Amino acid sequence: MKYTLITGASAGIGKSTAFKFAKEGHNLILAARREELLNSIKNELISRYGIEAIVKSVDLSENSEVTNFYEEVKQYEIDVFINNAAFGDFNKVWDIDVEKAGKMIDLNVRALTTLSLLYVQDYKDKDATLINISSRAGYSIYQNVVTYCATKFYVSAFTEGIAQNLRDGGYRMRAKLLAPGQVHSEFVKSAVKDTDVEEFEWNDAHTSDEMAEYAYELYKSDQVVSKREQNGIKMMLQGPVFKYF
Ligand SMILES: NC(=O)c1ccc[n+]([C@@H]2O[C@H](COP(=O)([O-])OP(=O)(O)OC[C@H]3O[C@@H](n4cnc5c(N)ncnc54)[C@H](OP(=O)(O)O)[C@@H]3O)[C@@H](O)[C@H]2O)c1
């Protein structure tokens, strides 16, 4: 039995993506910290779509938990692996909580790197797809969001690099990158946590359900990147953005 694994499946884009992939008949492994929430999502997915679903409660900002998590899920055949869990921080550089910046790197960069590498090493010869969630902030630097942007530049470069390595090497596995603009979710709430910035609503934002449709479109396409353009609302499917030598 094959599974799609989604990190950060308890809320926002990850939760919506779980519903979209379940609707398309995928069995799911749902990972995040809030186990109760994941269990209620799992029950709803099973009753609505008749798929199999497994819940894994894990704090992916803890390095030791990341490797244990991969060891636990390794027993399943995972044909789609979606690294979605991440958080942001809205602050001026001189006000950034250094501890929060470190946690962000641990989750957005370190966990994603560990999980991507282990997955590629196990699945490069199979029909498997790695989808990493970056952001438009992974291609542009926004004022007062520099640590988050830097983590997402990493995700973009790393994932595009993997995608091209796999293609050049003639491997069957594919790597892809979703780069949303603003999306309604719990993201702003966690990004302003422990800052002086007031919680706010995005303008011109997609819903998480719309972003899940784009994630599925990217999965089905031959393209590497789905990215929201700077001056538009639409996500555009395209090849790699960065130069590759
Ligand atoms: N929303 C936007 O405007 C936007 C724009 C561009 C890109 N993105 C990217 O889209 C992805 C999803 O974001 P979202 O907007 O859906 O955010 P969200 O609503 O805040 O969801 C984040 C998810 O990550 C999980 N998570 C957070 N910390 C975790 C940890 N330490 N260990 C395991 N799971 C953790 C959360 O679950 P628990 O709290 O239960 O652990 C939640 O399920 C992220 O990569 C984000 O950078 C978002």
Burial of 231 (0-12, 13-18, 19+ CB in 10 A): exposed
Return the structure tokens found at 224. 């590497």
Q: Which of 42, 152, 176, 227 is catalytic?
A: 152
49 carries an active-site annotation: no
In the block, tokens 């719309």 appear at: 210
Q: Which domains does the chain carry?
A: 2-237 (3.40.50.720)
Name residues whose C-beta falls within 8 Å of residue 243's C-beta, 6 or more positions apart in sequence.
none
15, 133, 185, 218: which to mutate for ligand 1, most atoms within 8 A of CB?
185
Q: Which of 123, 148, 154, 219 is catalytic?
A: 148
What is the pLDDT tens value at each position of the chain, 245 positions in all?
A: 999 999 999 999 999 999 999 999 999 999 999 999 999 999 999 999 999 999 999 999 999 999 999 999 999 999 999 999 999 999 999 999 999 999 999 999 999 999 999 999 999 999 999 999 999 999 999 999 999 999 999 999 999 999 999 999 999 999 999 999 999 999 999 999 989 899 999 999 999 999 999 999 999 999 999 999 878 889 999 999 999 99
109, 178, 187: which to mutate for ligand 1, most atoms within 8 A of CB?
187
Q: What residues flank ligand 1, with Cβ below 6 Å?
A: 7-14, 32-34, 58-61, 84-87, 107, 133, 135, 180, 182-183, 185-187, 190, 208
- Say which DSSP state 185 is in: S
pLDDT at residue 9, as a whole number: 99
CA dist 232 and 228 (Å) reads: 7
For Cα atoms 108, 112, 118, give the angle at the middle one, nearest 5 degrees: 165
Q: What strand order describes the sheet that includes 77-83?
A: 53-57, 27-32, 2-7, 77-83, 129-133, 174-179, 225-228, 235-238
Pick the residue whose CA is nearest to atom 17 on ligand 1. Answer: 187
What's the pTM? 0.98
